[in-house]
Amino acid sequence: MEIQVSQFIVRFLQQLGVDTIFGMPGAHILPVYDALFDSDIQSVLAKHEQGAAFMAGGLARATGNIGACITTTGPGATNLITGIANAYVDKLPVIAITGEVPTYAFGKGGLQESSGEGGTVDQSTLFAGVTRYHKMIERTDYLVSVLNEAAKHLTADIPGPVVLSIPFNVQKEMIDASLLDQLPSRAPAPTPGLPPARVEDCIELLKQARTPLIVAGYGCIQAGAQAALQRFSEYMNIPVTSSLKAKGALDEHAPLSLGSLGVTSAGYALRYLQEEADCLILLGAGFNERTSYVWNRALLKDKTLIQVDHNPLQLNKVYRADITVQADLREYLEALEQAAREQDLSPKATRDIPAFKQAMQARADADGTRIFDKRFDLVKCFYRQLEQRFSEGIELFDDNIVFAQSFYRVRQCDRFYPNTGVSSLGHAIPAAIGAGFKVKRPVFALLGDGGFQMCAMELMTAVNYHIPLTVVVFNNQTMGLIRKNQQQQYAQRFINCDFINPDFALLAKSFGITHRKIETLTQCEALFDELDVQHDINLVEVMLDQDAYPNYSSRR
Ligand SMILES: Cc1ncc(C[n+]2csc(CCOP(=O)(O)OP(=O)(O)O)c2C)c(N)n1
Ligand SMILES: [Mg+2]
């Protein structure tokens, strides 16, 4: 039986397990939309293609499933770019389907043409730098090969985004439906695991180490290694810090947690690293700009370095390690723990970490190196509420990052998604909405008022599809980060940082959602008594002083 290419594409998506697709139609992609009409994939109308791509990424990040988005040609495709770039940097399995003018119009100046012919916008070149795979599908005879190649990148161990652009006439061509058998089906064949890595060398270095420190990276979360990390660190009595993206890999309330590492963290882990640690065990941690305090070489001076990562490209990427191991992190941690038990390794004589943190806090107060002063007490209070109120855990998409790194102690039951990808403002709301289509726990999006205005209209997407969501806007009527830099490094020559906000109460009213303004600690403490975060869409304003800046330097 022959079916339309557009139907074939939709069936391919279904075979990959896609049941939700985010997008914005246009004339040049309507055949695929028409095929979606007949399918049981839920097609979600976003307000902007960037939002659609962020939603697909948010869904992928929260579930591990493939996220999908769909747009028309030309501006529909170009609007996708930042969202796809985000998926590329965050290594998310996201597929985008875009339309294109019919092939017979290529190079003749068709409306919204982006084929690259005849001086038109060239989608292929635009997507080349932000996708694992991009194809303008001009013929059907190689469609199966193209889709197989796309599936390979989406289901790879380290996945990445794929963009398929299909000219209008090709979408309507007919193709043999039995060719679907040649495409991967819902459960992609499991990729063979990595061969078991040797643990002996690592155990030897561990024996010699007096005060080792574990730096857990996002690789631990990707590998589902949280429980293994907890068991190993507890057995060996080794404290744990994490990169920003791996916050919560070990519950940050746990006695061995030093919180996260990075220029905007509370700094306990940094102090421990500088003053106590003689051996660092990097587990799935890339040691990027923030985690490494701007690649500060002095941090690792005279320390032994063990690096374990699933991704070989991460090994020795920033620092040369004494031992590098390519391994699945969960399996490796389990093997390490087993070897440590078999060899009866004695636990390390780590000093009392909660007491250490308290001492460091007192020192920061005394020497004025604390990042946040009293003007941020409302923010602190808000994060405390998040920690205390939701015993089942929450899903938190956070564009601000700086606050959370100091104030938010992520529990193992929570999922924390800092805006790490390309760090694009305006990510949190659409990404949280994408996740909200799938996850059952309360979903939060936290962002500044500048970022909010980049993606606020996507809140109406949540309204349209009844996706419960609580958006928290830090209202300081400025782009605080820019203002801070202009204050400190550009002699207070403030340019294009301050602005007037909309009336958030009226905005929320017009959206038909709940609004709360938090100006006092009492209001903050009562907030979650009043809001139903499980069922409603809420907009919460947390008021901040325009001139209050965190006390840290990013050197830029
Ligand atoms: C798409 C995009 N454009 C510009 C930037 C640069 N940028 C980083 S932070 C920032 C200001 C953010 O302001 P706001 O969202 O109000 O947060 P605040 O710093 O005030 O907490 C800007 C413009 C960015 N990260 N992403
Ligand atoms: Mg702001």
Q: Residue 444 is inside which H or E element, if any?
A: strand 443-448
Say how far apart CA 334 and CA 120 lie, in whole Å.
55
Atom of ligand 1 nearest to the CA of 474: 21
Contact 233, 322 (CB under 8 A): no
Say how far apart CA 535 and CA 513 lie, in whole Å.
11
Choose among 149, 158, 187, 190: nearest CA to 88.
Answer: 158
- Please tell me the predicted confidence (pLDDT) of residue 291: 83
- In sign, the C-alpha dihedral spanning 15, 17, 19, 21 is negative
What is the number of the ligand closest to the CA of 496?
Answer: 1
Contact 63, 435 (CB under 8 A): yes
- Please tell me the predicted confidence (pLDDT) of residue 287: 79
Helix, strand or coil, per DSSP, at residue 215: strand
Q: Is 542 in the pocket of ligand 1 (CB under 6 A)?
A: no
Q: Computed over its alpha carbons, how large is the radius of gyration of the chain? A: 25
- Please tell me the predicted confidence (pLDDT) of residue 244: 92
Q: Is 450 in the pocket of ligand 1 (CB under 6 A)?
A: yes
- Please tell me the predicted confidence (pLDDT) of residue 188: 54
- Please tell me the predicted confidence (pLDDT) of residue 12: 97
Kindly report the protein residue whose alpha carbon is nearest to atom 9 of ligand 1: 481
Strands 279-283, 304-309: parallel, antiparallel or unpaired by DSSP? parallel
Token pair of 443, please?
A: 């979903």
- Please tell me the predicted confidence (pLDDT) of residue 316: 87
Ligand 2 center to 550 CA (angstroms)? 13
Q: Is 474 in the pocket of ligand 1 (CB under 6 A)?
A: yes
What phi and psi values does residue 414 have, to the nearest 5 degrees?
Answer: -90, 160
CA diameter of the chain: 77
Kindly report the protein residue whose alpha carbon is nearest to atom 12 of ligand 1: 479
pLDDT in tens, 265-321: 888 999 999 999 999 999 999 878 888 888 888 888 889 999 999 998 889 887 889
Q: Which residues pair with 175 in a beta bridge?
A: 3
Alpha helices in 183-241 (DSSP H): 200-208, 218-222, 226-236
Say how far apart CA 296 and CA 315 lie, in whole Å.
18
Ligand 1 center to 41 CA (angstroms)? 35
What is the number of the ligand closest to the CA of 447?
Answer: 1
**pLDDT tens-digit profile, the chain (556 residues):** 999 999 999 999 999 999 999 999 999 999 999 999 999 999 999 999 999 999 999 999 999 999 999 999 999 999 999 999 999 999 999 999 999 999 999 999 889 999 999 999 999 999 999 999 999 999 999 999 999 999 999 999 899 999 999 999 999 999 999 999 999 886 555 555 667 778 999 999 999 999 999 999 999 999 999 999 999 999 999 999 999 999 999 999 999 999 999 888 888 999 999 999 999 999 999 878 888 888 888 888 889 999 999 998 889 887 889 999 999 999 999 999 999 999 999 999 888 999 999 999 899 888 888 888 899 999 999 999 999 999 999 999 999 988 998 899 999 999 999 998 899 999 999 999 999 999 999 999 999 999 999 999 999 999 999 999 999 999 999 999 999 999 999 999 999 999 999 999 999 999 999 999 999 999 999 999 999 999 999 999 999 999 998 888 766 6
Cα separation values, 332 from 220, 235, 243, 327, Å = 11, 15, 19, 6
Atom of ligand 1 nearest to the CA of 82: 1
**Angle value at C-alpha 200, between 196 and 204, nearest 5 degrees:** 150
Q: Is 478 in the pocket of ligand 1 (CB under 6 A)?
A: yes
Q: Residue 540 is inside which H or E element, if any?
A: strand 537-543
Pocket-testing residue among 82, 423, 481, ligand 1, by greatest number of atoms within 8 A of Cβ = 481
Q: Residue 133 is inside which H or E element, if any?
A: strand 133-136
Contact 419, 290 (CB under 8 A): no
Say how far apart CA 243 and CA 292 lie, in whole Å.
9
Q: Which residues pair with 4 in a beta bridge?
A: 174
End-to-end CA distance of the chain: 61
Q: Is 422 in the pocket of ligand 1 (CB under 6 A)?
A: no
| CA 316 remoteness from chain centre | 23
- Please tell me the predicted confidence (pLDDT) of residue 290: 80
Atom of ligand 1 nearest to the CA of 399: 15
Token pair of 393, please?
A: 């855990």
Choose among 183, 187, 162, 181: nearest CA to 65.
Answer: 187
Ligand 2 center to 470 CA (angstroms)? 18
Token pair of 178, please?
A: 């039995």
Kindly report the protein residue whose alpha carbon is nearest to atom 13 of ligand 1: 479
